[in-house]
A and B are shown apart, each in its own frame.
Chain A
Amino acid sequence: MTELPAQTNRKLGLVIDLDTCVGCHACVVSCKGWNTENYGAPLSDQSAYGANPSGTFLNRVHSYEIAPETGGVAQLIHFPKSCLHCEDAPCVTVCPTGASYKRLEDGIVLVNESDCIGCGLCAWACPYGAREMDTAEGVMKKCTLCVDRIYNENLPEEDRVPACVRTCPAGARHFGDFADPDSNVSQLSAERGGFDLMPEQCTKPVNKYLPPRPKDTMDEVDILAPLLAPVAQEPKGFMSWLDKTLENL
């Protein structure tokens, strides 16, 4: 058993906008690239050019189709998923060695790879499936919120954000401190109805998702729509309307 801090000084996390995410996987690969080269062991790939390619990713995009029960138009929702850095993180409390921990200063959940024995209990405990065992290294890998970027004095200040946020072309990912009610992420979440993923699990995730805006709401318009009121029905009538209109221009 590993203890969680009673509270953390800051609550760093992500807001992910499901209305804007186009499902391009830019965040997935940028994350893979940064974290292969940086924190801990590289994210390995098995059968990289083979029959069953399977590698370690800290962030994946899943796509779900939603067909309204009442009939009507189906929607496709792109759902990027990575560690939510929960306040009550079951992956930490289940860890037998203390390798999994939640940082006191910012709430980031990390794995100290030198203490990880690769038992996999944390992955079982996480209700979100956000942790992946690296096959080559035998240690558990997870989103670090780019802890080696966000404070990194070797990076320009504007780049001190997670790789996934920096790269997201549609601007669907936002990084900030949820402990500060005035932060960009707190404000955005409040304005747009940011929600917890699976709140019934009582993990108190820090990351928030913004719901897709209502879609396909346009009503059909009948032939008498005021905006489309005809100026004439036939070409001849139209040209006389035109002459009158041009006179008045």
Chain B
Amino acid sequence: MKDQPYLDTSPKVSDEIRKTTCYMCACRCGINVHLKDGEVAYIEGNRDHPVNQGVLCAKGSAGIMQVNAPSRLQAPLKRVGPRGSGEFEEISWEEALSLAESWLKPIRNENPEKLAFFTGRDQSQSFTSFWAQNYGTPNYAAHGGFCSVNMAAAGIYTMGGAFWEFGQPDWDHTKLLMIFGVAEDHDSNPIKMGIGKIKERGARIIGINPIRTGYNAVADEWVGITPGTDGLFILALVYEVLKAGKIDLHYLAEYTNAPVLIDAETGLLMRDAEGKLLVIDRKQCAPAPFDKCGIKPDLNGTLEKNGKIHHTVFHAIVERYLSHEYAPDAVAERIGVSAGRIRAIAAEIVRVAFEESFDIDQEWTDFRGVVHSKMTARPVSMHAMRGISAHSNGFQTCRALHVLQILLGTVEVPGGFRFKPPYPKPADIHPKPHCKVTPGAPLDGPHLGFVHGPDDLALKEDGSPARIDKAFTWENPMSAHGLMHMVISNAYAGDPYKIDTLFMYMANMSWNSSMNTKGVIHMLTDKDEIGQYVIPRIIYSDAYSSEMVAYADLILPDTTYLERHDCISLLDRPICEADAVADAIRWPVIKPDRNVRGFQSVLCDLGARLNLPGFVNEDGSQKYADYGDYIVNHIRKPGIGPLAGFRGDGTASGRGEVNPEQLDRYIENGGFFVEHVPDDARYYKPWNAGYQDWAVAMGLYDSAQPYLFSLYVEPMRKFQLAAEGYGDRQPPDHLRAQIIETLDPLPIWYPPFEECAVDTEAFPLHALTQRPMAMYHSWGTQNAWLRQIHGLNPLYLPSKQMLAHGFKDGDWAKVTSAHGDIVVPVAEMAALNENTVWTWNAIGKRKGAWALDENAPEATKGFLLNHLIHELQPPKGDGLRWVNSDPVTGQAAWFDLRVRIEKVKLPHESQPNFETLKSPVGQGPSELKWKVGS
């Protein structure tokens, strides 16, 4: 045998490792960036980081190809050709900022609402909103309204927190995980890690999703439900567990508003003279405030007052959900799941919740002062995502899910669902929306928040919407994240008013981030009778040559994520774990090699030029040199800044003075800060005195905030009351019926709006999108490695539909909705609801964008379903613009879409086909042989 060649098995790995935070999706994992000769050589997960504990997904590892992507913008650009042509000239930063100042200063002094500032997939919302607030416009939000506000709002109104950033399954103790409408994109590494843990223990997973991919592919049981019917499925489970009495009565009585009395007259909750919720104490058989020491709240208490008998919330729940309309046999056909299977799942849930329960020996004290010797598990956990929330009935469906969790007593107990600090946080300590505009001055408070009745709506004195997106109006009163998907449409229509400047960040609104893409392109380019653009000015900031760039007048080129400062703040969308509070930074681990600036640093500069109070010193000079300076020195409340770690002399956590060396301390610590929740505070957080005290010390609350879970959401009843004619602030007549029907304070199910608006025989199929695990919206395609994994997105058809239409893989179909049609390639998928078609989201690209060849498959065979979805419901003949959104929160109802398909001859390319954009960055190289260092 020949001698083996010599091999160096200990080569040098890198010159240096710099630890920062990933931005290849919204998961925000810790990464180790290996550098050679100052260039990025390799990226891996940071083992010490609370989010990913060392693992890293495909996107994260491909970060190196994002940082070198040829699509990176090179310098500020000013439009020189018509909008949409992609013709720009490079300008200096001074020219760019002077131009922006010259547009924004006059409208601030005249009427700040003429600026609409929306920030897409921004991870600095506490900063960008602060900027917008100081500017004084009411028109600010990020992308939550077209993402998952139903999930977030339903969680916060019901239980003071929701999934993902707000909470997580108890991965270490759960014995049954149910996932509803969970695609593979959000919280992706923690969920994969959790699934690994669950599988290792032999615990089980039930996946409820019309499509069986990803997590649903490894689920032990797959329920291929009909889209838009999850609420009905969940209420059938509620029916079964209630009927069997398999609910946690102790939990319901102690920790929820189940025992609270409802005023039979008004439907509002009854309160004592001090405003405390009223229950009947079983010991005294008398009314008592809910938090009184030593009481036993009665789930079936009654109070006779003013000639009426007032019952409890729980009584109302039993009355409603024991109705046969929610019985499995009554709903089975509609949801596409047999009654026997619904019952089997209900039986499995109650078996695990109550027969596989166990105790953790850990003493804790509740908010009424009672000391408990143990923590009792209800080891059924649930997680849900866009599949249930992106429907026009999504808010109520999410509410139904939380009510099921609470009836079983599985929230904030071992084995169930757990909050992550700074959650739980009751809905009423969140800010309320603010919209009072004063020329030349800041807005009167934060833009977004949680309304608790008609008085909190963002309406002008004449009752018209104060915001361009009509958030917090009677159309969708509880729109906690705004409605980014309505901004361009409303600005174009001048409804509720015209604007002057549209300022956007990281939002690909002329492509995959808009409903009705073709229509939006028209709105962005259309001119009025005097030849001016209907939306007069557009400023856009992005790091890459996205489709949106061509439609802006001024481009402010952002850096990539390895070239910038950022803070993953507790004031924003936190990265905490159930057992720990945590935050993190990004810092420039490499220097930009182009004439670009971090967008947040640009806002510091622009804020000073505009003389915004939060951005200038007393002498009028610029307050924050850049975003890094802001992160360290900004004070939101006394002792509270963007970062919670290493405050004061470097040892203070949560509260503390500014520490000028704070960023260095973060860098030394691996880019993050983490502090663990004390053992006695790990569960029962909303009612646990130990947790509440710790949270106050950490600066998460100003004072202890114990509260009851809201099975019954009283603010919704207040909107219903207004719609019934009570009160001073009244909805317009055309919305009364919708408000009364959909803002029910107990969960309901109603068919998705599109199903009612179109002929379902003409449009028999449901059409969905999902985002793959290896691609984060449109960003992935410019990545040379990731586009080799997901470069094509056929329309997946269930076997039944393939057969019925005579399709073979690779054939082309015309897909028609009530709004439009597209022509796309098809492929068969068996593990799919038989009346549903779907595709991967945001793979399709416009020719000329993202530095791709115009013959790239993403542009020739790729496509968007967005062309089939309108931001408005089909006209009802009343001349009104009815939004295609959830009537409670305004969440874009992407998944209501109904279509029909027909086979067509092989087209040249997928349709619609748009003109090639002129690329401001040219095209990428044909071959890559990437290797850095000598």
Which residues of A line the B interface, CB within 8 A? Answer: 2-3, 5, 17, 19-26, 28-30, 32-34, 36-38, 41-42, 44-55, 57, 65, 67, 73-78, 98, 101, 103-104, 110, 112, 114-115, 136-137, 147-148, 150-155, 158, 163, 166-172, 212-213, 215-223, 225, 227-235, 238-239, 241-243, 245-246, 249
On whether A46 and B927 interact (CB within 8 A), knowing A73-B222, A228-B240, the answer reads: yes
Which residues in A have their C-beta under 8 angstroms from that of B4?
A: 101, 103-104
Chain A residue with minimal CB distance to B63?
Answer: A33
Chain B nearest CB: distance from A213 CB in Å?
7
Which residues in A have their C-beta under 8 angstroms from that of B923?
A: 49
Q: Is B439 an interface residue (CB 8 A)?
A: no
Contact B245 A25 (CB under 8 A): no
Which residues in A have their C-beta under 8 angstroms from that of B221?
A: 215-218
Q: List 21 A-B contacts (CB under 8 A).
A: A3-B1, A19-B218, A25-B57, A28-B58, A28-B774, A36-B930, A47-B853, A48-B928, A49-B925, A75-B217, A78-B217, A115-B5, A136-B929, A154-B13, A167-B57, A170-B193, A171-B193, A172-B196, A227-B246, A228-B350, A231-B244
Question: Which residues of B, 819-858, contact A by the 8 Å Cβ criterion?
Answer: 829-831, 851-853, 855-857
Contact B193 A112 (CB under 8 A): no
Q: Is B924 an interface residue (CB 8 A)?
A: yes
Instruction: Report, nearest first, the 8 A-B pairs whose CB atoms are least far apart.
Output: A220-B340, A49-B924, A169-B192, A74-B830, A171-B196, A231-B245, A51-B855, A151-B9
Chain A residue with minimal CB distance to B782?
Answer: A49
Q: Is B89 an interface residue (CB 8 A)?
A: no
Bound-complex Cα distance A142 to B777 (A): 31
Encode B232-244 as 1/0 by CB contact (under 8 A) with A: 0000000010111
Which residues in A have their C-beta under 8 angstroms from that of B55?
A: 26, 166-169
Encode B914-934 as 1/0 by CB contact (under 8 A) with A: 000000000111111111110
Which residues in A have their C-beta under 8 angstroms from that of B318?
A: 235, 238-239, 242
Which residues in B have their C-beta under 8 angstroms from that of A249?
A: 249-250
On whether A44 and B2 interact (CB within 8 A), knowing A23-B213, A218-B348, A221-B343, the answer reads: no
Which residues in A have their C-beta under 8 angstroms from that of B26?
A: none
Chain B nearest CB: distance from A220 CB in Å?
3
Contact A154 B193 (CB under 8 A): no
Contact A218 B344 (CB under 8 A): yes
Bound-complex Cα distance A238 to B829 (A): 45
Q: Is B365 an interface residue (CB 8 A)?
A: no
Contact B343 A20 (CB under 8 A): no
Q: A216-B222, A227-B350 are in contact. List 12 more A-B contacts (CB 8 A).
A: A23-B213, A32-B62, A51-B857, A74-B212, A154-B13, A215-B219, A220-B341, A222-B340, A228-B346, A231-B244, A242-B249, A249-B250
B61 contact from A3, A32, A115, A155, Cβ within 8 A? A32
Which residues in A have their C-beta under 8 angstroms from that of B343?
A: 220-223, 225, 228
On whether A239 and B773 interact (CB within 8 A), knowing A37-B41, A166-B54, the answer reads: no
Contact A24 B243 (CB under 8 A): no
Chain B nearest CB: distance from A147 CB in Å?
6
Contact B9 A234 (CB under 8 A): no
Contact A170 B192 (CB under 8 A): yes
Bound-complex Cα distance A228 to B241 (A): 7
Contact B5 A245 (CB under 8 A): no
Chain B residue with minimal CB distance to A239?
Answer: B300
Bound-complex Cα distance A220 to B346 (A): 11
Which residues in A have their C-beta under 8 angstroms from that of B928?
A: 44-45, 48, 55
Contact A29 B212 (CB under 8 A): no
A25 contact from B195, B217, B773, B852, Cβ within 8 A? B773
Which residues in B have their C-beta under 8 angstroms from that of A29?
A: 58-59, 61-62, 774, 785-786, 789
Which residues in B have their C-beta under 8 angstroms from that of A212?
A: 218
Bound-complex Cα distance A243 to B224 (A): 39
Contact B926 A46 (CB under 8 A): yes
Bound-complex Cα distance A5 to B60 (A): 39
Chain B nearest CB: distance from A143 CB in Å?
15
Contact B58 A152 (CB under 8 A): no
Contact A136 B927 (CB under 8 A): yes
Contact A26 B218 (CB under 8 A): no
Which residues in A have their C-beta under 8 angstroms from that of B52?
A: 169
Q: Is B43 an interface residue (CB 8 A)?
A: yes
A221 contact from B9, B189, B340, B788, Cβ within 8 A? B340
On whether A51 and B184 interact (CB within 8 A), knowing A44-B928, A167-B45, A213-B220, the answer reads: no
Contact A169 B61 (CB under 8 A): no
Q: Is B368 an interface residue (CB 8 A)?
A: no
Contact B925 A166 (CB under 8 A): no
B244 contact from A2, A49, A104, A229, Cβ within 8 A? A229
Bound-complex Cα distance A112 to B4 (A): 9
Chain B nearest CB: distance from A56 CB in Å?
10
Contact B217 A245 (CB under 8 A): no
Q: Is B338 an interface residue (CB 8 A)?
A: yes
Chain B nearest CB: distance from A169 CB in Å?
4
Contact B340 A24 (CB under 8 A): no
On whether A227 and B347 interact (CB within 8 A), knowing A34-B42, A167-B56, the answer reads: yes
Contact A77 B340 (CB under 8 A): no
Chain A residue with minimal CB distance to B927?
Answer: A46
Bound-complex Cα distance A245 to B245 (A): 10
Bound-complex Cα distance A23 to B790 (A): 12
Q: Is B806 an interface residue (CB 8 A)?
A: no
Which residues in B have their C-beta under 8 angstroms from that of A151?
A: 9-10
Which residues in A have their C-beta under 8 angstroms from that of B856?
A: 49-51, 53
Chain A nearest CB: distance from B771 CB in Å?
12
Contact B773 A23 (CB under 8 A): yes
Bound-complex Cα distance A221 to B339 (A): 8
Bound-complex Cα distance A152 to B322 (A): 64
Contact B831 A24 (CB under 8 A): no
Bound-complex Cα distance A73 to B798 (A): 12
